Amino acid sequence: MPRPPKDEEFTDFVHASWPSLYRTAYLLLGDHAAAEDLVQTALAKTYAAWSKVRSVEAAPAFARTTLVNTANSWFRRRSWGRERPTDPIPERGAPAPDPSDRPAVVAALATLPPRQRAVVVLRYYEDLSVAQVARILGCAEGTVKSQTSDALAKLRVELGEAVVPETLGASHD
Amino acid sequence: MTERLSALLHDEADHLDVPPPAPGTVLGRGRALRRRRRVTTVAVAVASLAVVGVGSTLALGGDRDDDRAVEPAAPAAGFGEVFAIGTDIYLDGGRTHAVVDDVAVKSLYYTSAGVVVRHGNNSWSDGGGPQRFSLVAGDGTVTRLSVVTDGAVHATDPAQPYLAYAVRDGGGPAEVVVHDVTTDEVAARVRVPGLSGGWFPVAITGDTVFVGDGREDVFAVDWRTGEVTTSPVLRGYPEVAGASTSAHRDDRPVVLDVATGEVVLSPETTGWADLRLSPDGRYALLDQERDGGGGSSFQVYSVDTGESVEIEGETWQYGWTADGDLFSLLGRELTTCQADTGECATEEVDLVRSPAPGIDEGSNIVCDANGTCQDPEAEKGDSVDLKLGGRTYES
């Protein structure tokens, strides 16, 4: 069994991987404090499971998978939605937001249920395939496709046709 | 076709204000997780099927990653098992060691910035002269705080960096004081005219400090706005953790929602019983008077679900970690039990000691069930107190 990493090694790894993991976590959760907690949790699990990680080189990928799995377990909790209300949803009557406006993207993501949000982030930010997302989220590929389709339909309303064209389906890999 | 959406997501991510990492906290949590997973688990407590009210059965032994990931709403608790032996302070089950420069430790409090230690001329809970305070950070760094009180009751919220207490200076009204332990400055001082006497038990959760004077009313003080109202729920001594408070209804212990008064936990009990909340309010330990004989064990309930697990031992042997696990130190064995599954793991700990009368540096130290620790090779009588984190050592 590989020895646990030295504190200095692991500290370096935390510093190196933190920004990237935090960005993914924030897009997944939409909350700075929760994102920070999620990254800490994922990195702590990576440390605890070092025998599976095997090397510092393999740690970033392990931590990223752990992060998504942990977020997924949080989503499954019945209290997640209650504890983490999404940001205010823009009024329907309001003018369509400028899609180049970054906060519009965050606000649009916030309108999605947690699993749909995760699907969008994993597919269009992490650039994972339908099969990879299904494996991570523990659901069927068909579910990923239908969740993607539903999510894109909502994002189309929020961000406009220019960002999410009608022809953009969910079936591609 | 997805380029625009993908580009917007990346643009958003690239412009995020990323907070600095906290490798010390991550390491502490990682070590705690690793310790839980060791095969040296010596005891798995039997799950109780008792479910409070109309509930579901309890599922045990699930995927640890899923079951025990830190609650998003919970504090980032990287301090593990926290205890004091004499003036030696141990975090993370003894892996981090610090020494407080004083005669004795009185109590330990969890905050988001570290462990606040109340210390003074003796280990008495109060009435023993001035009470001084130090902050022990996750890496063992000790910072003496400027706070000095006498006869006051103190409280913290493990999710926040504040120490709360109430005092009456001179003949004016009593004041709630909220002290920021990271800056060592007073964050708020709010007058509470309804308080009488000179002894004011407090509790702090979020922006609210609950304060009473031992009589009927308890006041809810919004320390950020200064608004003071009478709590419709609390009476007498406010014991609040997170969103919960322990109380008694019809001579039975209950946990109430501190905001609404709704009963959220009401276990079946026989005889005298009390519920002791974890620092984050997510779990409650049932301290119940038993008929003589039989083995010693107690129930720990999830406040959220009402499900319970059984833990072996006596309630007074256990402290809480900031994130709701139970731990005890007996002899040189540190036992940590997860409040959600009842799984316990025991490991021998080597505790670095600072020199003290009757105790040489680096000597063995063993603690008994009465909370007294001693070097077995030292002369009889040279002993020091054990104080566990998450326990109330207040009058």
Position B304 pLDDT exceeds 50: yes
Mean pLDDT in residue range B85-96: 91
In angstroms, the CA B157 to CA B365 distance is: 31
Mean pLDDT in residue range A135-145: 79
Best to test chain A binding among B1, B3, B4 (most A CBs inside 10 Å):
B4
Mean pLDDT in residue range B64-79: 37
B31 to chain A: closest CA residue = A48
Is A69's Cβ below 8 Å from some Cβ in B?
A: yes
pLDDT band at B30 (very low <50, low <70, confident <90, very high): confident
- Please tell me which residue, A20 or B57, carries the higher pLDDT value: A20
Best to test chain A binding among B9, B38, B323 (most A CBs inside 10 Å):
B9
pLDDT band at B331 (very low <50, low <70, confident <90, very high): confident
What pLDDT sits at residue B351?
Answer: 80
Nearest to A73 among B19, B66, B304 (CB): B66
What pLDDT sits at residue A79?
Answer: 47
Residue among B137, B135, B127, B123 at smallest CA distance from B22: B137
Shared domain check, A173 and A127: yes
Domain of B176 in residue numbering reads as 160-241
Q: Which residues, 6 or more positions from B365, have their beta carbon under 8 angstroms from its beta carbon?
A: B85, B332, B351, B353, B359, B373, B374, B375
Mean pLDDT in residue range B246-259: 89
Going by their DSSP bridges, the two strands B333-337 and B142-149 should be labelled as unpaired
Could you tell me how many residues make up chain A?
Answer: 173
Mean pLDDT in residue range A111-116: 85
Greatest extent of chain A over all pairs of C-alpha atoms, in Å: 60
Position A95 pLDDT exceeds 60: no
What pLDDT sits at residue B67?
Answer: 30
Q: Among B175-179, B327-331, B360-364, which stretch is predicted with the lowest mean pLDDT? A: B360-364
Residue among B312, B298, B318, B315 at smallest CA distance from B81: B318
Shared domain check, A80 and A92: no
Shared domain check, A133 and A56: no
- For residue range A154-163, list pLDDT tens digits in order: 888 888 887 8
Q: Among A62-66, A165-169, B194-198, B308-312, which stretch is predicted with the lowest mean pLDDT? A: A165-169
What pLDDT sits at residue B72?
Answer: 28
Contact B337, B325 (CB under 8 A): yes
pLDDT band at B316 (very low <50, low <70, confident <90, very high): confident
Final residue before a domain boundary, out of A85, A104, A122: A85
Angle formed at CA B273 by CA B125 and CA B110, multiple of 5 degrees: 40
Residue at B205 is within a domain: yes
Residue at B195 is within a domain: yes
Nearest to A168 among B1, B16, B19 (CB): B1
Position B42 pLDDT exceeds 60: no
Shared domain check, A133 and A59: no
Look-up: residue for tokens 């207490």?
B165
Mean pLDDT score of chain A: 76
What pLDDT sits at residue A22?
Answer: 94
What pLDDT sits at residue B58?
Answer: 23
The CATH number linked to B229 is 2.40.10
Dihedral pair phi/psi, residue B193, rounded to 5°:
-65, -25
Mean pLDDT score of chain B: 80
Residue among B84, B116, B117, B81 at smallest CA distance from B327: B81
Residue at B180 is within a domain: yes
What is the domain count for chain B? Answer: 1
Averaging pLDDT over each range in B122-126, B319-323, B369-373, B384-388, which range is the top one? Answer: B319-323
Check A46 against B304: CB less than 8 A apart: no
Check B37 against A48: CB less than 8 A apart: yes
Position B283 pLDDT exceeds 90: yes
What pLDDT sits at residue B32?
Answer: 64
Domain of A62 in residue numbering reads as 1-85
Q: What percent of chain B has pLDDT over 90?
A: 44
- Taking CA atoms, B283 is separated from B38, B334, B368, in Å, by 24, 21, 26
- Please tell me which residue, B363 or B143, carries the higher pLDDT value: B143
Final residue before a domain boundary, out of A69, A85, A101: A85
- For residue range B186-211, list pLDDT tens digits in order: 999 999 998 988 888 899 999 999 99
What pLDDT sits at residue A4?
Answer: 66
The contact set of B with A (CB < 8 A) is 1-2, 4-6, 8-16, 18-23, 25-27, 29-34, 36-37, 63, 65-66, 69-74, 76, 78, 304
Shared domain check, A71 and A102: no
Shared domain check, A99 and A80: no
The reply to whether the predicted model has a pTM over 0.95 is: no
Shared domain check, A155 and A110: yes
pLDDT band at B145 (very low <50, low <70, confident <90, very high): very high
Shared domain check, A100 and A78: no
Residue at B207 is within a domain: yes
Shared domain check, A74 and A95: no
What pLDDT sits at residue B258?
Answer: 93
Shared domain check, A102 and A56: no
Q: Among A43-57, A75-89, A103-117, B14-28, which stretch is predicted with the lowest mean pLDDT? A: A75-89
- Please tell me which residue, B81 or A4, carries the higher pLDDT value: B81
Mean pLDDT in residue range B164-168: 94
Going by their DSSP bridges, the two strands B96-99 and B343-348 should be labelled as unpaired
Check B8 against A84: CB less than 8 A apart: no
pLDDT band at B127 (very low <50, low <70, confident <90, very high): low
In angstroms, the CA B81 to CA A116 distance is: 38
Shared domain check, A108 and A161: yes
Nearest to B13 among A4, A23, A50 (CB): A23
In angstroms, the CA A88 to CA B186 distance is: 34
The CATH number linked to A113 is 1.10.10.10
Q: Which residues, 6 or more positions from B376, have their beta carbon under 8 angstroms from its beta carbon?
A: B364, B366
Final residue before a domain boundary, out of A85, A111, A137: A85
Q: What percent of chain A has pLDDT over 70?
A: 75
Nearest to A105 among B9, B72, B74 (CB): B9
Residue at B381 is within a domain: no
Position B87 pLDDT exceeds 70: yes
Shared domain check, A170 and A105: yes
What is the domain count for chain A? Answer: 2
Mean pLDDT in residue range A14-25: 94
Residue at B69 is within a domain: no
